Chain A
Amino acid sequence: MVAERLLIKNLKQGKEDAYRQLVEEYGNKLFKTCCLILKDREEAEDVVQETFIRVFNKIDTFKEKSGLYTWIYAIALNLSRDRMRVKQDMLELKDELIGNNDLEAQVEMNIDRELLRKEIFGMNSIYREVLVLFYFEELSIKEISNLLNEKEGTIKSKLSRGRNILRESLLKGGR
């Protein structure tokens, strides 16, 4: 926390070392998450670059109410969502069906990893985004809800729907 405060102070003073430290510490992590969400390396790189430029421009207005990484993440996710909207890869969330335990048990028995991989990266990004944050970033529902500025119920619903889509695809052996 002290180190982060010092980093923020140095960023506000425009010290080059602080900027390098920020990019080294968070750049690749952010890039990986954006790649998983956007499924496009170049686009993810653009988003990360734009995110840091925004962070640099707005660092003076950062009030430290949230952690620095959370703030950076929120900017990156907003930018990713803008890109997904342009690609029309984001559908409106419908009323979701919640997990079916029988279905889950059947899937748990036998998971075709290659099929699962294909389904994860083929599914709508509205669900993949939450799956990435929950499973890859290991964020809690509450943290994801804060980051995406959505209700916890909505996040749970998206997560559940995302898992169901994957389960059903696994059962059917692919779409």
Chain B
Amino acid sequence: MDSKDRLGMEIKKIMEEEAFDLTLSQKTIDNIIKHRKKTLTEKIKDFLNRKIEVSLAPAIVSVVVLLALILIPQDMFKSQNEKVIYMGSSYVIIRARGEQQ
């Protein structure tokens, strides 16, 4: 197929004239760029900047539980009157009432 014949050259010229001043609008370019793939840093930032809606009651309960776990000493409910004797791979717990384990 010859693209250099007169008809071909005229077709090309007409197409070039029609397309001469066609350019993408800035709005379209911005829309395109908006959809680009994000870098890892941007993904993390987006994740951290997300708005999260939490209802008040569960939030308060969670905070109270968390504070309780942090502030209450771990051995608070442990019996004060017990003694543990380690014997190699086993151990003996001696309580005030005299129970053995």
Contacts and interface: CB of A to CB of B under 8 A. Distances in A.
A108 B33 contact: no
Given A45-B24, A135-B12, A141 B1 contact: yes
What DSSP secondary structure best describes chain B's contact surface?
A: helix
A160 B32 contact: no
Interface string B11-49: 111111011001111001101110111111010000000
Name the interface size band of chain B.
Answer: 20 to 34
Given A13-B39, A14-B36, A14-B39, A27 B14 contact: no
A134 B25 CA distance: 26
A59 B19 contact: no
B10 A111 contact: yes
B36 A120 contact: no
A138 B31 CA distance: 30
A48 interface: yes
Given A57-B37, A104-B7, 20 more contacts: A12-B37, A19-B32, A28-B23, A31-B22, A32-B19, A35-B22, A45-B28, A52-B35, A56-B36, A104-B5, A111-B10, A116-B10, A116-B14, A117-B14, A117-B18, A120-B15, A135-B3, A136-B15, A136-B19, A141-B1
A88 to B, nearest CB: 23
Nearest to B11: A135
A13 B36 CA distance: 11
B6 A135 contact: no
Contact of B1 (A27, A36, A57, A156): A156
B24 A31 contact: yes
29 contacts: A14-B42, A16-B36, A23-B29, A23-B33, A27-B32, A31-B22, A32-B22, A33-B19, A35-B19, A41-B22, A48-B28, A56-B35, A56-B36, A57-B35, A107-B7, A108-B5, A108-B7, A111-B6, A111-B10, A113-B13, A116-B11, A116-B14, A132-B15, A134-B1, A135-B3, A135-B15, A136-B16, A138-B3, A156-B1
